[in-house]
Amino acid sequence: MFVIKKKKGESDDKLIARFRKKTIVEGVMQEYRDREHYKKPAERRKEAKYRIAHSIELEKKRSY
């Protein structure tokens, strides 16, 4: 959790931009999306296996 306080002379747009950047860096939105729908451990393993296979395939195409 983090707190964003408005700095002296800072516009509302800058404050919102700083907040959005902080949420992205901290991974808050990604964690929210991950927790939104429960995934079984088997499903997580399946996705991880797919990600590894996909990255290997991309690496083969790049080195070709």
Q: Which residues contact 23 (CB under 8 A, 6 or more apart)?
A: 29
Give the per-residue pLDDT at 53: 96
Residue with tokens 């901290």: 26
Going by pLDDT thresholds of 50, 70 and 90, the confidence category of residue 2 is confident
- In angstroms, rounded to a whole number, what is the distance separating the alpha carbons of residues 28 and 21? 11
Q: Provide mean pLDDT across the span 53-61.
A: 94
Pairwise CA distance, residues 7 & 54, whole Å: 45
pTM of the predicted model, to two decimals? 0.51
**Residue-range domain boundaries for the chain:** 12-63
